[in-house]
Amino acid sequence: MPYTFTLTATIPASPEEIYEAWLDSLGHSEMTGGEANMSGEVGAQVSAWDGYISGRNLELIPGERIVQSWRTTEFAGEHEDSVISIVLTEVGDSTLLTLEHSNVPDDKRSYEEGGWQSNYFEPMVAYFTGLRGAMPAEPREKPAQPRAPKAPPKRAAKRPAKTGRKTRPAVKVKSKRAAPRAKAVKKKLKSKATTRRAAVKSRKKAAPTAPKSARRKRR
């Protein structure tokens, strides 16, 4: 005669995370360790554990409740499908999973006595624990908004170092080679001018002076 039993387990994940993983083919496969073909649509056919389990979605309430028909390859032809009802209740940072398995063949007591525990609850705990360890913890407070970078301060023009002497305005200095040449040219011009003056003076002294009578006539 079919019977019904209820099991509970605490899973380190949110109800939404468990709900999504259960109805996702890849998530269900990684969560249990057996290949699964799942769907998030009511009425869709589902399977798990490499085809050992088959059924379909009967009722789905996101993040709260999953109801599926459930039978294994060990069910005899006269056995009707069993039904699993999973209720997800948030408890702190974990979830209390309450599983009710109804219409189970009387000779399948192993599902209650350890099948669900070893094939689902324990792998699920390990799976979600590993996910939490791989994900960075969420900050409790919102991080401060990054401020716009400040413009770099303008650099002041370099000033000459202070000394005891007063600074004089810059004077263009000719090259060392040009300075001696300029001095030599000036010296040469000066000597020529001196020579010319001396020649003019000597000429004036040497020229004979005309008598006064002659000067009057010329006038």
pLDDT in tens, 125-169: 999 999 888 765 554 454 455 565 666 666 655 565 555 555 555
CA distance 172 to 175: 10
Tens digits of per-residue pLDDT, 97-131? 999 999 999 888 888 888 999 999 999 999 999 98
Do 10 and 91 form a contact (C-beta atoms < 8 A)? yes
> 61 in helix, strand or coil?
strand
Domain ranges of the chain: 3-134
Q: How many CA atoms lie within 13 A of 204 on its CB side?
A: 6
pTM: 0.61
Angstrom CA distances, 123 to 47, 112, 116, stand at 17, 16, 10
Contacts for 20 with CB less than 8 Å, ≥ 6 apart: 27
User: Of 74, 81, 112, 93, whose CA–CA distance to 18 is shortest?
Assistant: 93
| Domain 3-134, CATH homologous superfamily name and number | START domain (3.30.530.20)
